[in-house]
Amino acid sequence: MRPAGSTDHRIRLALMAGALVSFTLIGGWPGLVVVMSFVAMLTLHELGHFLVARWAGMQVTEFFLGFGPRLWSVQRGECTYGVKAIPAGAYVRITGMTSLDEVDPSIEHRTYRAQSYPRRLAVALAGSATHFGVALLLLFVLYSMVGTPDPNRWMVGEVVPDTAAEAIDLEVGDRILSVAGVEVDDFGAFGVVVRSLPGETVEVVVDRDGTRTKRVAIIGERLSPDGTTHGFFGVGRARPLVTVGPVAAAGEVVGRFGDLTMMSIDGLTSFFTPDGLSRFFSGALPDRAASDGASLDGVSTGVTADPESGSVRSPAVGSSTVPSDADDERLLSIYGAARLGSAMLADGWATYLWFLVLVNVFIGVFNLTPLLPLDGGHVAIATYERLRSFGGRRHRADAAKLIPVTWAVVSLLVLVGMVALYRDIVDFPDLG
């Protein structure tokens, strides 16, 4: 006869498996990939804290994947490892994180608070360092193996039905070299030419797999918001992927990582200001105006990861996880980020890997904000105590005084998260 506890664990694990299957049924396999990617990123974050704390000799009592009801657990030494019902990340419990924690005097020397400043700093920074490490690795893979978009070339990435592009049998991967005798090496130049020729019959030079052909197309017509008519061809842009050697890739990685880090810092700085928060919350009001995400030739390019600018863009969307220069910048909830990630994955693995790079950089920077309960808050406290310690006597900050500030930060983050979720549910843009 099996113990009842064994049966309970099996039932709970079955429920978790059912939840993952539900993700697949609702969002398809892309939705499942995105959700599991987020879980993996947050798990690696906590794993960083866990490994460094163990290395530093601190007591770690719990390491769990997920939150909520416990599905399964096992005791190994002094630490309990396990899985909980809600796959929304992970957590690690380190003894004595603050001066308020009651600890057995016999293990006080193994608490976080009893360690030297460098060791406490290493533990607090380990989470963000893990995100930065993942971002650097993914960047190296992109530059050296998968490829990054060639900024000097473009090709057809989408053919819109019932347009001039379809009428002359264009295919994804074709290169348009000229329109009406005008060379269009740049996509912007192509858009300018097309828009100036509504209804005109023109010669289009196309390169397909190294073979050039001349085709005759009738440019379509569309009405602009100002009442004027402009040309419409019906293609979306893609760029061919190019790779570089390991040495060149390493140089590109360092430069791009620095750019993305500064963009994340700038984005957070501008958002968490009275003006930034005011725009964010006012954006949840019903009378909010939508923006237009059409490209130069009248075709929405949908959601794209743009390595040239280091951003992820979609019509009328800015993301909490990535910088954006769209008109309507806003933080996305985990729901919105998952939808955005699914759209990225549909655009190809290269685009999705860029998305993960940007997400990891943002999370790493965000967690370094010097406020509890974020990792940066623990860094700030450890640094403050270090600066206040004189003559071999160690100063300890009064954690009780920080509780109101911590609750204020948590309340703000919860409120921002709820508003972001509301906006993503009722006003998420078309990503198609």
In angstroms, rounded to a whole number, what is the distance separating the alpha carbons of residues 352 and 131?
A: 16
Per-residue pLDDT tens for 40-67? 888 899 999 999 999 999 999 999 988 7
Q: Kindly write down the DSSP assignment for every residue of 354-395, as one continuous string.
A: HHHHHHHHHHHHHTTSSSTTSHHHHHHHHHHHHHH-BTTBPP
Question: Which long-range CB contacts under 8 A does 63-68 form with residues at least 24 apart?
Answer: 63/90, 63/91, 63/92, 63/93, 64/90, 64/91, 65/39, 65/89, 65/90, 66/16, 66/39, 66/90, 67/91
Q: Is 155-238 a CATH 2.30.42.10 domain?
A: yes
Tally the C-alpha atoms within 13 A of residue 163's C-alpha that lie toward its C-beta.
Answer: 20
Both structure tokens of 121: 């700093």
Nearest partner of 84 among 62, 113, 107, judged by Cα: 62
Per-residue pLDDT tens, the chain, 432 aa: give them: 444 444 555 555 565 555 555 555 555 667 677 777 888 888 899 999 999 999 999 999 999 988 778 888 899 989 999 988 776 678 899 998 877 778 888 888 999 988 999 999 999 999 999 999 999 999 999 999 988 877 778 888 888 899 999 999 999 889 999 999 999 888 888 888 998 999 999 999 999 988 999 999 999 988 877 778 888 998 888 878 888 899 999 999 999 999 999 988 988 888 877 887 777 777 666 544 333 333 334 333 333 444 443 334 333 223 333 333 333 456 777 777 777 777 777 777 888 888 899 889 999 999 998 888 888 988 998 888 888 887 777 787 777 787 888 888 888 888 887 887 787 777 765 554
Q: Is 94 helix (H, G, I), strand (E, B) or coil?
A: strand
- The ranges assigned to domains in the chain are 1-115, 124-149+243-432, 155-238
Maximal C-alpha separation, the chain: 87
Both structure tokens of 143: 């530059």
The pLDDT, as a whole number, for residue 393 is: 79
| Phi, psi values for residue 309, rounded to 5° | -105, -10
Percentage helix, strand, coil for the chain under 3-state DSSP, each rounded to 5: 50, 20, 30
The pLDDT, as a whole number, for residue 277 is: 76
**Contact in structure between 56 and 37 (CB atoms under 8 Å):** no
Contacts of 134 by beta carbon, 8 Å cutoff, 6+ apart: 41, 44, 356, 360
Q: What Cα–Cα distance (Å) separates residue 6 from each residue in 3, 68, 73?
A: 5, 19, 11
The pLDDT, as a whole number, for residue 12 is: 54
The pLDDT, as a whole number, for residue 21 is: 57
| Phi, psi values for residue 10, rounded to 5° | -65, -40
Contacts of 389 by beta carbon, 8 Å cutoff, 6+ apart: 395
**Contact in structure between 188 and 237 (CB atoms under 8 Å):** no
Nearest partner of 360 among 63, 142, 97, 92, judged by Cα: 142
Predicted TM-score of the model (pTM): 0.74
Nearest partner of 94 among 74, 79, 116, 76, judged by Cα: 79
The pLDDT, as a whole number, for residue 4 is: 46
Q: What Cα–Cα distance (Å) separates residue 404 from each residue in 371, 409, 411, 417?
A: 12, 9, 10, 20
Nearest partner of 379 among 55, 97, 59, 47, judged by Cα: 97
